[in-house]
Structure 1
Amino acid sequence: MTMINIAVIGCGSIAKHRHLPEYAQNEHVNIVAVCDIVETRVKTMAEQYGAKSYTDYTELLAQEQVDAVSVCLPNALHAPVSIAALDAGAHVLCEKPMATSKEEADQMIEAAKRNGKKLMIGHNQRFVPSHEKAKQLIASGEAGKIYSFRTAFGHGGPEAWSADGAESWFFRKKDAFIGAMGDLGVHKADLLRYILGEEFVDVAGFIANNAKENITVDDNAVCILRSESGVIGTLAASWAYKPQEDNSTIIYGEKATLRLEDDPEHSLIVQYATGEVVKYQLGKIQSNEEGGQSNSHVIDHFIEAIVTDTEPLINGEEGKRSLEIILAAIQSEDNRQMTTVVK
């Protein structure tokens, strides 16, 4: 059996609750090293998973022979650390958003190409069963021509689950680059591209900090998107949805309306123009709340791509296209006008 030696750089909440336990459950994985600047945090994870601990990622990459690396760091570090890992000969799974600029994203993609390594971005919403089913229904023509959509991803904010609580890097622009739009909005931008099977060409963004005090990033954002075929809709991202999170998407088509994660019991409800209603129970979406999806499938997909030498579903190019939507939203807010996504 092929075994993959894994290092996880960054031991905050996403590593603790997703990457490390899911690597540990994968039969092809050896977790050999973990890294975090907080020594007590990294030692706890190292002991739990029988790995070596580091507080300097450059030291880890120099001393350990790893096949692949998860980059679970503040957004501003995604590009430099991913590039360093790729140049060290490791495949990379990087958390989203993949970078803070198109230029950084291009540098990551180039690093993967010149080293012959895989680069995957952790957009987990593509693997949610209701989302996969909706994509199939749309591609088959079941919903007819798609006219519009509305999608939202919001919760009370990262202070409830981030490793550093209210002091989290998520709230600092120099570390995070962008707030709720980078944390949540980019997930939905990627999801809509995937489900609709086309790109967005125009973006109007309204991005604000109007809910939380003493932070330097946005906590509420609403975007209007238009696809290349003319589908229009709204995307909302928020750290001010209380008491429960909203992770829903509704797609309006000629023959049917698809309601994804919009009902507590049925993960997908298809309301046909004929009056027929079909309800699917496909399992829970990944969530920070109790009872959420237990496995993101991101880790298993990444490892499978390495073992079988296939291209990951969300490679660097895919991650960059989703990043470009939130970059266009920022530009739209700054310029107070609609932004065209450059292809």
Structure 2
Amino acid sequence: MKVAIVGCGGLGNVHASCYAQIPGVTVVGVCDTDRELVQQMAERTGATAYESFDDMLEQSGCEVVSVTLPSFLHKPFSIKAAQAGKHVICEKPIALNLEDAADMIRVCEENNVRLFVGHVVRFFPEYAQMHDKIKQGALGRVGVAHAKRIGSHPGERRHWFKEDDKSGGVVIDLMIHDIDFLRWSIGEVKSVFGFRKVEGFVDYATATLVFENGAVANVEAHWGYPGPFTTAAEIAGSSGVIRSDSSKTISLQVRKAASESSSGPFVDIPQSPGYRSPFQLEISHFIECIRDSKESLVTARDAYKALEIGLAIEESARSGQAVLLNHSAQEGSR
């Protein structure tokens, strides 16, 4: 399978590394307006370097295009690739507003190509294990969840991250990871209440999500944190608690509620999954879905719903009021 990459920055190089490890996949074109970046990736991959995206679509022979550009460019490049008959693997968020996201889904469907969106947290072993435990009923009825994601401000290196109309800010770019994970694991969100504070290179947001099944989640995202990048999640149910904290050496801890036969109040079951790059798992999965016409673990509809929730949190933060989700909105399926 022949693939091309538009956007030769950090994530573009991550995608290139992933493709290099998939048998039968060849990177045939790379594109960027930065001549130095595109030449470096061309040399690394053996692909042809293009400064024109149109030329790459017409001349490279690619069947799939990775869109690893800044978020505000996701729509135009994804749509152009779809109209050229290419499958699209787009980084998250799918877009910065629901109209653009719906257009991307629609155009891909009309051109009979697949649209994949890189919500990579679903491919992190510890998050996948938490999801599986919840779905298997190990926690009983889920009641309360907490999730956080904190790190330095990417705008210190790439200024467009500081502009909401280009990145979406900390909610749409960072918190959206946990929004997608929680919706995937717990279910549809009924309402949100959000708070956001931006000052210089500090962008902090917190949100309360109320799910249709009655569960409640508190989610935190912080750009500008002076320490290392950290993620954590804890989900409590009627039968137990499950937690993961990247700052701890054990990647996943499950604490089961005591049964009558247990000798103590909890039984700890530490999990230490073998590590493969989540991006490698994700990209390999997307290619497999194209080859075998399989449904993806994360669909374009999932990406749309995560964006919808994130935008509702932003609306709540501006208004100071809770926002109800409109489930009659666009429902993409691919």
Deviations 1:310-343 (A, max 9, x none): 1222121111011111110111112221111111
Q: Is 1:45 paired with 2:36? A: no
Q: Counterpart of 1:340?
A: 324
Q: Counterpart of 2:136?
A: 140
For residues 153 and 193 of structure 1, the distance between their equivalents in structure 2, rounded to whole angstroms, comes to 16
How big is the shift at 1:295? 4.6
Is the contact made by 1:266 and 1:282 (CA closer than 8 Å) also made in structure 2? no
Is the contact made by 1:267 and 1:283 (CA closer than 8 Å) also made in structure 2? no
Any gaps of 5 or more consecutive residues in structure 1?
Answer: 160-164, 213-217, 287-292
Any gaps of 5 or more consecutive residues in structure 2?
Answer: 259-265, 328-334
SS in 1 for 2:116: strand
Amino acid in structure 2 at the alignment position of 1:182: I
- Bigger proportion of residues as strand: 2
Q: Counterpart of 1:184?
A: 174
Match of 2:3 among 3, 6, 12: 6
How big is the shift at 1:167? 4.0
Is the contact made by 1:184 and 1:237 (CA closer than 8 Å) also made in structure 2? yes
Amino acid in structure 1 at the alignment position of 2:310: I
Q: Is 1:318 paired with 2:302? A: yes
Bigger shift: 238-247 or 87-96?
238-247
Deviations 1:21-75 (A, max 9, x none): 0011111211000111111110110111001111222222233321100100111
Bigger shift: 237-246 or 88-97?
237-246
Is the contact made by 2:172 and 2:311 (CA closer than 8 Å) also made in structure 1? no
Q: Counterpart of 2:213?
A: 229
Match of 2:311 among 308, 327, 330: 327
Amino acid in structure 1 at the alignment position of 2:159: S
Match of 1:130 among 114, 126, 130: 126
Q: Is 1:158 paired with 2:169? A: no
What are the residue-to-residue correspondences of 1:241-280 with 2, within 5 Å? 241-262=225-246, 264-274=248-258, 275-280=266-271
SS in 1 for 2:315: helix
SS in 2 for 1:78: helix
How big is the shift at 1:238? 1.1
Is the contact made by 1:131 and 1:195 (CA closer than 8 Å) also made in structure 2? no
SS in 2 for 1:201: strand
How big is the shift at 1:281? 0.6
Is the contact made by 1:259 and 1:269 (CA closer than 8 Å) also made in structure 2? yes
For residues 262 and 43 of structure 1, the distance between their equivalents in structure 2, rounded to whole angstroms, comes to 36
Question: Would the alpha carbon gap of residues 211 and 149 (structure 1) be closer, same or farther in structure 2, given more than 3 Å must change?
Answer: farther
Deviations 1:89-138 (A, max 9, x none): 01101101100111111111111111111101001110111222222221
Q: Counterpart of 2:82?
A: 86
Once the two structures are aligned, what percentage of the paired residues are identical? 32
Deviations 1:221-275 (A, max 9, x none): 1111011101101111111223222211100111111012355222110112211
TM-score, with length taken from structure 2: 0.91
Q: Counterpart of 2:189?
A: 200
Q: How many residues align?
A: 320
TM-score, with length taken from structure 1: 0.89
Is the contact made by 1:14 and 1:72 (CA closer than 8 Å) also made in structure 2? yes
For residues 248 and 135 of structure 2, the distance between their equivalents in structure 1, rounded to whole angstroms, comes to 26
Alpha-carbon RMSD: 1.6
Amino acid in structure 2 at the alignment position of 1:56: S
Bigger shift: 67-76 or 307-316?
307-316
For residues 324 and 332 of structure 1, the distance between their equivalents in structure 2, rounded to whole angstroms, comes to 12
Amino acid in structure 1 at the alignment position of 2:209: L
SS in 1 for 2:157: helix
Bigger shift: 90-99 or 303-312?
303-312
For residues 172 and 328 of structure 1, the distance between their equivalents in structure 2, rounded to whole angstroms, comes to 19
SS in 1 for 2:231: coil
Is the contact made by 1:130 and 1:261 (CA closer than 8 Å) also made in structure 2? no
Q: Counterpart of 1:299?
A: 283
Is the contact made by 1:33 and 1:51 (CA closer than 8 Å) also made in structure 2? yes
Question: Would the alpha carbon gap of residues 296 and 152 (structure 1) be closer, same or farther in structure 2, given more than 3 Å must change?
Answer: farther
For residues 101 and 319 of structure 1, the distance between their equivalents in structure 2, rounded to whole angstroms, comes to 11
What are the residue-to-residue correspondences of 1:102-141 with 2, within 5 Å? 102-141=98-137
